[in-house]
């Protein structure tokens, strides 16, 4: 007889298999004294089969002249499930506190496993601040029963994230345990980000710059006026104005070409005016000079304001000084000539009656 938990494959030496009785028969004919021999057959062990299953194969030989004689062979099956587990969460980037997320866990017994996973239980322990939506607990177990080779079981559950959850990455641990297999674990991380609450008010700064003279000459003192205003609806903090002079200009009060005014906090609707006295140096050249003031504050972009002054170099004509150019000098010289001719004519006119 083919043993329980096995299936007939083939037999040698003329053995025939009867699928009804599930047995194999060899008709060996007449055997003379001293003769011997052996027969064999192949069978496959059932799958799945419980680990430790005892397989007993009993064989009987009989003849006309003898009583039946039986013997047996015993073997023990060694088998085990081949389990794997995956875990995922429906979050591709991050979530905020108060979010609702879904976890999916799949446990698989591979097709080449030789035994079912028996009494399989899935247990999931959520991180602090995470709770199961169904009952508000943080740990839950799911009985998956037996899982044969080639089968899988999937569990999906919804989880709530606390409204007060702190920012960070949270690992969610799942464990799967069967009576006849070692424990499996799987995690699915979720990043929680706490959104920045933007203030309903915000500052907005403006800066303007003017000069009391559009033109000047070496040695003149100019007054630049810098006006800073907060036209927004929030206070501006750490407000700073930095004024940098071009070459040939210098501060009347101060050293170097850069001065800084730390205004501090400028409240909404308030303004600050800064007057800066600047001297045109004696060796300044005739050209346009641009004075730049830069405004900065916490959490606001920098801004700048400019004021331009034109420096002209005076020229000497006779004993008087004037800022005239070449054309002016030519006209003045022509005028002087005409005046001279007029004086000569007047003198001649006075002398003519005397000659008569």
Peptide bond into 141 cis (omega under 30): no
Q: Is residue 356 pLDDT above 90, yes or no? A: no
| Tens-digit pLDDT profile for residues 288-346 | 999 999 999 998 999 999 999 999 988 765 544 444 445 555 665 666 666 566 554 55
Confidence class for position 201, pLDDT limits 50, 70, 90 = confident
For position 331, what pLDDT does the model report? 63
For position 347, what pLDDT does the model report? 57
Q: In Å, what is the CA distance from 59 to each residue of 66, 68, 175, 245, 327?
A: 16, 10, 47, 115, 139
| Tens-digit pLDDT profile for residues 64-104 | 999 999 999 999 998 999 999 999 999 989 999 999 999 99
CA 226 to chain centre: 42
Q: Is residue 62 pLDDT above 90, yes or no? A: yes
Q: Is residue 185 pLDDT above 70, yes or no? A: yes
Do the beta carbons of residue 95 and residue 161 sit within 8 Å?
yes
For position 319, what pLDDT does the model report? 44
Mean pLDDT, the chain, as a whole number?
89
Distance CA 222, CA 225 (A): 10
| Phi, psi for residue 208 in degrees, rounded to 5 | -130, 155
| Tens-digit pLDDT profile for residues 1-35 | 999 999 999 999 999 999 999 999 999 999 999 99
Burial class (CB in 10 A: 0-12, 13-18, 19+), 119: middle
Q: Is residue 278 pLDDT above 70, yes or no? A: yes
For position 1, what pLDDT does the model report? 96
């Amino acid at each position: 007889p083919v043993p329980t938990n096995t299936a007939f494959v083939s037999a040698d030496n003329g053995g025939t298999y009867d699928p009804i009785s599930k047995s194999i028969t060899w008709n060996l004919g007449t055997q003379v004294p001293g003769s011997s021999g052996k027969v064999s057959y192949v069978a496959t062990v059932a799958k799945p089969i419980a680990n430790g299953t005892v397989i007993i194969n009993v064989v009987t030989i009989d003849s006309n002249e003898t009583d039946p004689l039986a013997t047996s062979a015993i073997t023990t099956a060694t088998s085990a499930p081949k389990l794997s587990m995956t875990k995922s969460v429906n979050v591709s980037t991050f979530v905020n506190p108060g979010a609702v997320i879904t976890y999916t866990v799949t446990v698989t017994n591979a097709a080449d496993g030789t035994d079912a996973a028996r009494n399989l239980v899935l247990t999931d322990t959520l991180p602090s601040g995470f709770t199961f939506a169904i009952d508000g607990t943080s740990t839950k177990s799911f009985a998956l029963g037996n899982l044969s080779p080639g089968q899988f079981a999937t569990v999906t559950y919804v989880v709530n994230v606390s409204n007060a959850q702190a920012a960070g990455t949270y690992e969610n641990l799942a464990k799967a345990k069967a009576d006849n297999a070692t424990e499996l674990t799987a995690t699915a991380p979720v990043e929680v980000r706490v959104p920045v609450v933007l203030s309903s008010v915000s500052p907005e700064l403006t800066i303007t710059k003017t000069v009391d003279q559009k033109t000047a000459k070496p040695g003149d003192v100019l007054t630049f006026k810098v006006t800073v205003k907060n036209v927004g609806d929030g206070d501006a903090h750490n407000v700073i104005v930095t004024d940098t002079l071009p070459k040939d200009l210098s501060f009347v009060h101060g050293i170097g070409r850069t001065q800084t005014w730390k205004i501090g906090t400028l409240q909404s609707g308030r303004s600050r005016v800064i007057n800066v006295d600047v001297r045109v140096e004696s060796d300044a050249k005739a050209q346009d000079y641009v004075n730049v003031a830069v405004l900065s504050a916490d959490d606001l972009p920098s801004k700048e304001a400019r004021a331009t002054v034109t420096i002209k170099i005076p020229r000497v004509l006779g004993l008087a000084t004037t800022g005239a150019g070449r054309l002016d000098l030519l006209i003045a010289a022509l005028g002087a000539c005409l005046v001279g001719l007029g004086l000569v004519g007047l003198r001649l006119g006075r002398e003519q009656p005397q000659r008569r």
